[in-house]
Amino acid sequence: MDGSTDNAPQMRLNGVGEKLTEWENEPTLLSLKGDLESGKTAHDSQMRKIQRWNDLMAVTGSAKPKQVKGRSSVQPKLIRRQAEWRYSALSEPFLGTRNLFSVSPVTHEDTAAAKQNELVLNWQFRTKLDKVKFIDDFVRATVDEGTCVIRTGWLRVTKKVPKTVPKWGFYEPQSAEELQALEAAFDLKGENPREYDETVDDALKAAVDYLEENQVPVVAVMEGEETIEVEEVIENRPDLKVFNPQNVQIDPSCGGDLNKALYAIFSFETNKSELQKQGRYKNLDKVNWEGNGPNTSQDHATSTPDNHQFKDAARKKVVAHEYWGFYDIHGTGELVPIVATWIGDTLVRMEENPFPDGKLPIVISTYLPVKRELYGEPDAELLEDNQAILGALTRGMIDLLGRSANSQQGFAKGMLDPLNRRRFESGQDYEFNPNQNPQNNHIQHKYPELPQSALAMLGIQNQDAEALTGVKSFSGGMSGEAYGEVAAGIRGVLDAASKREMAILRRLAKAIIEVGRKIIAMNAVFLSEEEIVRVSNEEFVSVAREELAGDFDLEVDISTAEVDSQKASDLAFMLQTVGPNMGLEMTKLILAEIAELKRMPELAQRIRNFQPEVSEHDKRMQELEARKAEKEIEKIDSEILKNKAAAARDMAERDIKDLDFLEQESGTKHVRDMEQTKAQARGNQDLEITKALTKERDPEKQAPDIEAAVGFTEFSDRRGEGPSSGL
């Protein structure tokens, strides 16, 4: 701050300290506080309602009966009793499951990223966040105050530390063993990063890093050491806080839609050391650390006792206001999401909204929603009259009993003289005045009977309270009598109560889903380059930051004990119905699902992986059964072939008979027989001629022999030809 005259008006508007940004239209501290003041009326009105509901639950303040001398001032906590029944019923569905979120992709391309997001999100809720405390605070704030305000953020704490690191020289591998070791380490890094980090030596890691960067296999050799300053990450995780509604002011002009709110202002307690550690705050030397404590701020609901305050400057508590909203910082008429923080009259932070979604870091859940309102209502709004009537009746009955002289005794004057009075009190025989009968002159005081109308009125109020809230108590206050004393009437009451509870659970689940969406968006930006996430005792998945982006549908695994019990009963009935006819694999599926519904994930996993042990005798019997089945199949196949052959033979015989019959009817067979006979005769004739020609005979006898053999002369005479014409 240079103290120049030209810059002084701007400094007064921005508060104490230097200008924090280069924006043309940087919002002034006066304008930011103006938003805080303009919404104060609506905010205070809602806070008075919440304070009245808290008084009714705790029976304090205006809800506490006035003390009257000699009279009872007791007040039964009907609202608190109903709330206690509601807490566990609403928190157990969130806490009773290992994986709170189920992430599914919107498009096919986002399938892998959806699986990675589901893995990271559930891992963060299990290990990085206090899931039990967050869910308990979330449920109790919603039930008690009708509205829960969740502030989402990211906690990153780092510090710079000196570190001695080796200086590596990289050389070409000289042996096949070095190349094999490098290849094995490279594969291990991709398959199991955690084992790689724990088992591989630094030289081999340096060689793998060089290979990934330059695609050249090398051998790393340490050539010395050097000291460098590195940033050590102490914490890098999402941060969720359930804020006191007194310390959160939301734009009242949003009309019940948080997405239309233009600003939200948080007040929180911090100290100089914490602000310096985060490294994003400026002008801390200009802050008045003495005059901005929690006990001096009227609008901030502090949890610090009045008589407790640290004396040293590093730990002294102050109240800071954090403004999240939209502002025309460039003077173009376009609203830009920003965040600003001030302590007293000093701006210590001014920057654009660092969150990737560009929205207010708020998620709101309501217990009983109110039309066109951002805030909801608790059961206290419904049970106020019932609790007052119940208290009046209880105090009247207590006064009736308390003002009676119970166990006191009265004697008629003169009935006993002093001696006999002592005998009476000591339990001895005594004498009394014969003119005064002790049965008429002695009174034993006792409590009066309570009017039945008062007891009936108590029952009516309890039943009416349970009907209003839908909470079924062990006392049996709710029944089906209003719907008829039948099972259907009782079931109607229980179904109505379950539906009421499920409707509340859906609103709570919607808020948790919004929290998950914001964490997914922040993971894609604020996570380290690579997070090693432990999935199980054997599987480790490396999650790259780039793979966390995408559009996803989130689901929250919620269920009630009653619903789970009903599902388990239905599955058990299915097992009983099918009996031993169901295969082992199907039985395992149903039993594992029952174990999951009964909140026994380890047993469910063991059932899924169960394989029965088979003895040697059973194995032998199974082999024999298999061989028997094979032989039976072979026998069946052979019989089939035999039957096919017989059928083919029979068919051929039938075809032959049919053909023979047709040939006989048409004369074809007779013609064929004649031709066959002629052909046979010609063949015989040719054979004889051939034999005769090949015989070596005397020439004189040759011609007669030939003629004798074939009857040539007779044949020639019959033809009218000369016997020698052909010679």
Q: What is the pLDDT of residues 151-192, one digit of tens each?
A: 999 988 888 888 888 888 888 888 888 888 888 888 888 777
pLDDT at 614: 73
Confidence band, pLDDT 50/70/90 cuts, at residue 140? very high
Asked whether residue 605 is domain-assigned, the answer is yes
pLDDT at 543: 63
Q: Is 311 exposed, middle or buried (0-12, 13-18, 19+ CB in 10 A)?
A: exposed
Kindly report the number of other CB atoms within 10 A of residue 453's CB atom. 9
Cα–Cα dist 176/187, whole Å: 17
pLDDT at 555: 67
> Smallest Cα–Cα separation from 250: which of 349, 140, 375?
375
pLDDT at 475: 44
Could you say which DSSP state residue 158 is in?
A: E
Record the tokens describing residue 485, joined without a space: 């004393």
pLDDT at 536: 45
pLDDT of 700 above 80 = no
Packing angle, helices 452-469 and 380-402, rounded to 10: 160
Confidence band, pLDDT 50/70/90 cuts, at residue 710? very low
User: Which residue blocks in 250-325 are alpha helix, DSSP H?
Assistant: 272-278
Strand duo 552-556 + 101-105: pairing:
antiparallel
pLDDT at 717: 45
DSSP calls for 655-705: HHHHHHHHHHHHTHHHHHHHHHHHHHHHHHHHHHHHHHHHS---HHHHHHH
- The last residue of a domain, from among 609, 640, 665: 609
Q: Are 170 and 222 in contact (CB under 8 A)?
A: no
pLDDT at 11: 41
The answer to whether the Cα torsion of 143, 149, 153, 158 is positive or negative is negative
- Mean per-residue pLDDT, 401-430: 86
Structure-derived torsion over alpha carbons of residues 507, 511, 512, 513, reported in degrees to the nearest 10: 100
Q: Are 219 and 178 in contact (CB under 8 A)?
A: yes
Q: What is the pLDDT of residues 442-464, one digit of tens each?
A: 888 888 888 899 999 999 998 88
pLDDT at 327: 95
Could you say which DSSP state residue 236 is in?
A: E
Question: Distance of alpha carbon 544 from its chain centroid, rounded?
Answer: 22
Asked whether residue 160 is domain-assigned, the answer is no
**In the chain, count of helices (H) and strands (E)?**
22, 14
Record the tokens describing residue 494, joined without a space: 């229980």
> Smallest Cα–Cα separation from 98: which of 125, 136, 138, 128?
125
Cα–Cα dist 31/632, whole Å: 94
Asked whether residue 448 is domain-assigned, the answer is no
Record the tokens describing residue 498, joined without a space: 């379950």
Cα–Cα dist 2/8, whole Å: 9
Q: Is 655 exposed, middle or buried (0-12, 13-18, 19+ CB in 10 A)?
A: exposed
Cα–Cα dist 97/555, whole Å: 13
pLDDT at 518: 92
pLDDT at 691: 80
The answer to whether the Cα torsion of 497, 498, 499, 501 is positive or negative is positive
Q: Are 376 and 367 in contact (CB under 8 A)?
A: yes
Q: Which range among 163-177, 201-215, 268-282, 689-703 shows the weakest confidence by mean pLDDT?
A: 689-703
Percent of all residues in the chain with a pLDDT value above 90, rounded to a whole number: 28
Record the tokens describing residue 297, joined without a space: 């701020």
Asked whether residue 712 is domain-assigned, the answer is yes
- What φ, ψ does residue 599 adopt, rounded to 5°? 60, 45
Structure-derived torsion over alpha carbons of residues 660, 661, 662, 667, reported in degrees to the nearest 10: 80
Could you say which DSSP state residue 573 is in?
A: H
The answer to whether the Cα torsion of 268, 269, 272, 277 is positive or negative is negative
Q: What is the pLDDT of residues 325-345, one digit of tens each?
A: 999 999 899 999 999 999 999
pLDDT of 613 above 80 = no
Confidence band, pLDDT 50/70/90 cuts, at residue 3? very low
Look at the chain and report how many structural domains it folds into.
Answer: 2
Q: How far is CA 602 from CA 28, 254, 594, 595, 596, in A?
A: 58, 47, 12, 9, 9
Cα–Cα dist 248/267, whole Å: 7
514: phi > 0 → left, psi -120 to 50 → alpha, else beta; which?
Answer: alpha
476: phi > 0 → left, psi -120 to 50 → alpha, else beta; which?
Answer: left
* 455: Cα within 13 Å, side-chain hemisphere: 4
pLDDT at 14: 52
Asked whether residue 407 is domain-assigned, the answer is no
Record the tokens describing residue 456, joined without a space: 């009936």
**At residue 155, what is the residue type?**
L
Asked whether residue 588 is domain-assigned, the answer is yes
- Mean per-residue pLDDT, 498-503: 83
Asked whether residue 603 is domain-assigned, the answer is yes
Q: What is the pLDDT of residues 286-296, one digit of tens each?
A: 988 888 888 77
pLDDT of 648 above 70 = yes
Structural domain boundaries enclosing 724:
697-727
Helix/strand/coil for 454: helix
* 235: Cα within 13 Å, side-chain hemisphere: 13
pLDDT of 483 above 60 = no
Percent of all residues in the chain with a pLDDT value above 70, rounded to a whole number: 84
Q: Are 87 and 523 in contact (CB under 8 A)?
A: no
Record the tokens describing residue 331, joined without a space: 């003077």
Most confident region among 23-32, 103-112, 545-554, 582-591 by mean pLDDT: 23-32
> Smallest Cα–Cα separation from 139: which of 380, 365, 368?
365
pLDDT of 680 above 70 = yes
Strand duo 248-250 + 101-105: pairing:
unpaired
pLDDT at 663: 73
- Higher per-residue confidence, 340 vs 669: 340
Asked whether residue 549 is domain-assigned, the answer is no
Q: What is the pLDDT of residues 302-315, one digit of tens each?
A: 877 766 778 888 88
Q: What is the pLDDT of residues 350-390, one digit of tens each?
A: 999 999 889 999 999 999 999 989 999 999 999 999 999 99
pLDDT at 407: 80
Q: What is the pLDDT of residues 223-282, one digit of tens each?
A: 888 888 887 888 889 999 999 999 999 999 998 999 999 999 999 999 999 898 888 899
Confidence band, pLDDT 50/70/90 cuts, at residue 391? very high
Helix/strand/coil for 87: helix
Q: Are 641 and 629 in contact (CB under 8 A)?
A: no
711: phi > 0 → left, psi -120 to 50 → alpha, else beta; which?
Answer: left
- Mean per-residue pLDDT, 486-496: 50
User: Which residue blocks in 59-124 are alpha helix, DSSP H?
Assistant: 78-95, 111-123
pLDDT at 17: 57
pLDDT of 146 above 90 = yes
- What φ, ψ does residue 229 adopt, rounded to 5°? -100, 120
- Higher per-residue confidence, 34 vs 674: 34
When the pLDDT of each residue in the chain is averaged and rounded to a whole number, the result is 82
Name the residue with tokens 């509604």: 245
Q: Is 199 exposed, middle or buried (0-12, 13-18, 19+ CB in 10 A)?
A: exposed
> Smallest Cα–Cα separation from 598: which of 554, 625, 561?
561
Q: How far is CA 217 from CA 137, 170, 299, 434, in A?
A: 55, 9, 65, 126
- Mean per-residue pLDDT, 561-572: 76
pLDDT at 537: 42
